Chains A and B, each alone.
Chain A
Amino acid sequence: DSGVTQTPKHLITATGQRVTLRCSPRSGDLSVYWYQQSLDQGLQFLIHYYNGEERAKGNILERFSAQQFPDLHSELNLSSLELGDSALYFCASSVGSIGYNEQFFGPGTRLTVL
């Protein structure tokens, strides 16, 4: 158990809908990262927050947004969902934002868009 929690574990929804994925980092970690894992794209970095501030953006679509709250938990919002958004979404956390800090991953949320 990494100490990173994600809810829900599974999410099934329809095209055009909006969903919110939630992540709680390990105790003491200030950085939260979001990743998307799919068979065709592999593991793709989406976005990084550090202590409430956005620090880096990766291949995140405009339909997706994220935020990190004062209690350090984070939410990833996915809107106008398409079939291709079906994937595993991982959250990871690290103690700081320094590049050599290893990231600890949550169990993921499996999103299925029908």
Chain B
Amino acid sequence: AQSVAQPEDQVNVAEGNPLTVKCTYSVSGNPYLFWYVQYPNRGLQFLLKYITGDNLVKGSYGFEAEFNKSQTSFHLKKPSALVSDSALYFCAVREHRGGATNKLIFGTGTLLAVQP
């Protein structure tokens, strides 16, 4: 069964510093990986995805993520955090098996708090 883990409930970082939000996944086939962000009282917004190819994926608002197959990880990164980046971040995985696709499974979310 596919699963995704976000080991940190909360990440604190000072504005201007680099940030990393961790995600590891488990699938038996090839994964499609996604990052979403949720601001208070709002729906989830798509940030970026990994399908295949280059392990470094660039997304919206200066975020990027690195796919590491050997470590089954897909960590979200940003070189310089902004206070406005403070939000709840979700990693999600969907398994691709020979043309058939499985449901999208979300992690438990990581609250990013950027201090001014």
Contacts and interface: CB of A to CB of B under 8 A. Distances in A.
Interface of A: 2, 4, 33, 42-43, 45, 48, 56, 58, 90, 92, 97-100, 102-108
Say what secondary structure dominates the interface of chain A. Answer: loop
B101 A98 contact: yes
Contacts of B45: 2, 105
B32 A100 contact: yes
A43 B103 contact: no
Contact of A99 (B42, B96, B107): B96
Given A42-B109, A43-B109, A103 B43 contact: no
A56 B103 contact: yes
Contact of B90 (A2, A4, A43, A98): A43
Most A Cβ at <10 Å: residue of B36, B94, B101: B101
A105 B102 CA distance: 19
B103 A103 contact: no
Contact of B103 (A48, A90, A107): A48
Interface of B: 32, 34, 36, 42-46, 49, 51, 90, 94-96, 101-109
27 contacts: A2-B43, A4-B43, A33-B104, A42-B108, A42-B109, A43-B44, A43-B90, A45-B103, A45-B106, A58-B103, A90-B44, A92-B43, A92-B44, A97-B101, A98-B101, A99-B32, A99-B94, A99-B102, A100-B51, A100-B96, A102-B46, A102-B49, A103-B46, A104-B46, A105-B36, A105-B45, A106-B43
Nearest to B34: A102
B64 to A, nearest CB: 16
A99 B101 contact: yes
A98 B32 CA distance: 10
A107 B44 CA distance: 8
B105 to A, nearest CB: 7
